[in-house]
Structure 1
Amino acid sequence: MNTKTSAFVPDAVSVHPRSLKVGGEWLASFAVTGYPREVHPGWLQPLLTYPGRVDVSLHIEPIDPVTAANRLKKQLSKLESGRRHTSEKGRLLDPQVEAATEDAYDLSARVARGEGKLYRFGLYLTVHAPTEEALGDEVAAVRSLAASLLLDCKPTTYRSLQGWITSLPMGLDLIGMRRTFDTSALASAFPFTSPDLPPPDPTSVGAPTGVLYGFNIGSQGLVHHDRFALDNHNSVILGRSGAGKSYLVKLELLRSLYRGIEVHVIDPEDEYGRLAAAVGGNQIRLGAEGVRLNPMDLPIHTRPDGRRTAPRDALVRRSLFLHTVVAVLLGRELEAAERAVLDRAIAATYQRVGITSDPRTWTRSAPLLADLAKILEATGGTQLAAGLEPYVSGSFSGLFSGPTTTRPEGHLVVFALRDLSDELKPIGTLLALDAVWRQVSNPAIRKRRLVVVDEAWLLMKERAGAEFLFRASKTFRKHKAGLVAITQDTPDLLASHLGKAVVANAATQILLRQSPQAIDEICSVFNLSLGERQFLLSADRGQGLLSTGTQRVAFQAIASPAEHYLVTSDPAEVAEMPSTAADIESAFVELDAA
Structure 2
Amino acid sequence: MTSAFTPPSLRVAPRHVEVGDEFVASFAVVGYPREVYPGWLQPLLAYPGRVDVSLHVEPIDPATAADRLKRQLGKLEAGRRHTAEKGRLADPAVEVAAEDAHDLSARVARRISKLYRLGLYLTVHAPTEQALAEEVAAVRSLAASLLLNAQPTSYRSLQGWVSCLPIGLDTLRMRRTFDTDALAAAFPFTSADLPAADPATMALPAGVLYGYNLGSGSLLHWDRFAGDNYNSVILARSGSGKSYLAKLETLRWLYAGVESAIIDPEDEYATLCRAVGGTHIPLGAGDVRINPFDLPLAPLPDGRISAPPDALTRRALFLHTVIEVMLGTELAAQQRAVLDTAILATYQRAGITAQPTTWTRPAPLLKDLAAVLAASKDPNARDLGARLHPFVAGAFSGLFAGPTSTQPDGHLLVFSLRDLPDELKAIGLLLALDAVWRRVSNPATRRPRLVLVDEAWLLMQHPAGARFLYRLANSARKRWVGLTVITPNIVDLTQSELGRAIIANSTTQILLRQAPQAIDEVAALFGLSDGEREHLLSAGRGVGLLVAGQHRAAFQALASPREDTLITTDPAQLAALHDDAAPDGVVVLEPDPDGYIELDQSDEVA
With normalisation by structure 2, the TM-score equals 0.68
Q: Is the Cα contact below 8 Å between 1:236 and 1:506 reproduced in 2?
A: yes
Distance 1:508 1:445 in 2: 25
The one-letter code of the counterpart of 2:259 is: E
Aligned ranges for residues 279-298 of structure 1 at < 5 Å?
Answer: 279-298=276-295
**Which one of 357, 362, 365 corresponds to residue 365 of structure 1?**
362
1:429–1:465 Cα contact (<8 Å) kept: no
1:443 Cα deviation after fit: 2.1
Q: Secondary structure at the match of 1:317?
A: helix
Alignment of 1:207-218 (within 5 A): 207-218=204-215
Q: Structure 1, residues 288-333: CA drift from partner, whole Å, max 9, x if none? A: 1111101111111001221111111110111111222222233322
Call closer, same or farther: CA 1:199–1:309 in 2, change over 3 Å.
same
Shift of 1:507: 0.5
> How many residue pairs are counted as aligned between the two chains?
457
Q: Residue 120 of structure 1 corresponds to which residue in structure 2?
A: 173
Please give the alpha-carbon distance, in whole angstroms, between the structure 2 residues aligned to 1:268 and 1:278. 19
Residue in structure 2 matched with residue 245 of structure 1 by the alignment: 242
SS at match of 2:172: strand
**Other-structure match for 1:572:** 572
Report SS of the residue matched to 1:418.
coil
**Residues 1:409 and 1:12: Cα distance change in structure 2 (over 3 Å):** same
What's 2:602 paired with?
A: none
- 1:20 is paired with a residue whose SS is helix
CA contact (8 A) 1:466 1:498 kept: yes
Are the structure 2 counterparts of residues 121 and 364 from structure 1 closer, same or farther at C-alpha, using a change threshold of 3 Å?
Answer: same
> Counterpart of 1:264 in 2: which secondary structure?
strand
Counterparts in 2 of 1:60 and 1:314: CA distance versus 1, 3 Å: closer
Q: What aligned pairs does 1:482-561 form with structure 2 within 5 A after superposition?
A: 482-561=482-561
Q: Where do residues 395-414 of structure 1 align in structure 2 (5 Å cutoff)?
A: 395-414=395-414
Question: 1:295 corresponds to which letter in structure 2?
Answer: P
- Contact preservation (8 Å) 1:60, 1:119: no
Residue 114 of structure 2: aligned partner? 28
In structure 1, the partner of 2:469 is: 469
- Partners of 1:58 and 1:121 within 8 A in 2: no
Match of 2:45 in 1: none
**Residue in structure 2 matched with residue 307 of structure 1 by the alignment:** 304
SS class of match (2:369): helix
Q: CA deviation at 1:121?
A: 6.3
Partner in structure 1 of residue 587 of structure 2: none
Change (3 A) 1:123 1:498: farther
Gaps of 5+ in 1: 34-40, 42-56, 69-102, 108-116, 129-163, 170-188, 583-594
Matched letter for residue 120 of structure 1:
R
Deviations 1:487-523 (A, max 9, x none): 2222342121111111111101111122233222222
Q: Give the Cα separation in 2 of the matches to 1:122 and 1:199.
A: 29
Is the CA contact 1:63–1:119 (under 8 Å) kept in the aligned structure 2? no
Separation (CA, whole Å) in 2 of partners of 1:8 and 1:242: 59
Instruction: Note if 1:436 corresponds to 2:522.
Output: no
Q: Given that residues 461 and 492 in structure 2 are in contact (C-alpha distance below 8 angstroms), is that contact kept between their aligned partners in structure 1?
A: no
Distance 1:190 1:419, change over 3 A: closer
Cα deviations by residue, 1:424-478 (Å, 9 ceiling, x for unpaired): 1222122112112212222222111111111222222122331222112211001
Whole-angstrom CA distance in 2 between matches of 1:401 and 1:8: 84
For residues 14 and 118 of structure 1, what CA distance do their matches in structure 2 show? 29
Q: Which moved more, 1:487-496 or 1:234-243?
A: 487-496
Q: Paired residue for 2:353, among 348, 352, 356?
A: 356
Task: Report if aligned partners of 1:61, 1:119 keep a CA contact under 8 Å in 2.
Answer: no
Q: Which position in structure 2 is the counterpart of 1:230?
A: 227
Structure 2 CA distance for partners of 1:458 and 1:382, relative to 1, 3 Å: closer
Which sits farther off after the overlay, 538-547 or 262-271? 538-547
> How far apart are 1:410 and its partner, in Å?
1.2
Could you say if the C-alpha distance between residues 537 and 367 of structure 1 is closer, same or farther in structure 2, counting changes exceeding 3 Å?
same
Residue 580 of structure 1 and its aligned partner are, at CA, apart by 8.9
Cα pair 2:230 2:482 within 8 Å, conserved: yes
Tell me, in whole angstroms, the C-alpha distance in 1 between the residues paired with 2:446 and 2:230: 15
TM-fit CA distance, 1:255:
0.7
Q: Which amino acid aligns with 2:520?
A: D
Residues 179-218 of structure 1: pairs in structure 2 closer than 5 A: 194-218=191-215
SS in structure 2 of the partner of residue 444 of structure 1: helix
How far apart are the structure 1 equivalents of 2:155 and 2:330?
79
AA at the equivalent of 2:457: W
Q: Does 1:346 align with 2:343?
A: yes
Aligned ranges for residues 38-437 of structure 1 at < 5 Å? 64=155, 119-120=172-173, 127=180, 194-380=191-377, 381-437=381-437
Q: Which runs of 5+ in 2 are unaligned?
A: 1-79, 81-89, 120-124, 126-147, 585-606
Q: Is the 8 A contact 1:430 1:464 kept in 2?
A: no
Q: Which residue of 2 aligns with 1:138?
A: none
Could you tell me whether the CA contact under 8 Å between 2:328 and 2:462 is conserved in 1? no
- Counterpart residue type for residue 454 of structure 1: D
Give identity over the alignment, percent. Answer: 55
Instruction: Give the letter aligned to residue 303 of structure 2.
Output: G
Q: For 1:561 and 1:365, how far apart are their aligned partners in 2?
A: 48
Q: Secondary structure at the match of 1:357?
A: coil
- Cα distance in 2, alignment partners of residues 580 and 512 from structure 1: 32
Aligned partner of 1:325: which letter? V
Could you tell me whether the CA contact under 8 Å between 2:321 and 2:465 is conserved in 1? no
Partner of 1:537, secondary structure, is: helix
Q: Which amino acid aligns with 2:555?
A: F
Distance 1:400 1:491, change over 3 A: closer
Task: Name the SS of the counterpart of 2:510 in structure 1.
Answer: strand
Q: What is the aligned-residue RMSD (CA, Å)?
A: 3.7
State the match for 1:84 in structure 2.
Answer: none
Q: How far did 1:254 drift?
A: 0.4
Residue 297 of structure 1: SS of its match in structure 2? coil
Give the CA deviation at 1:123. Answer: 9.4
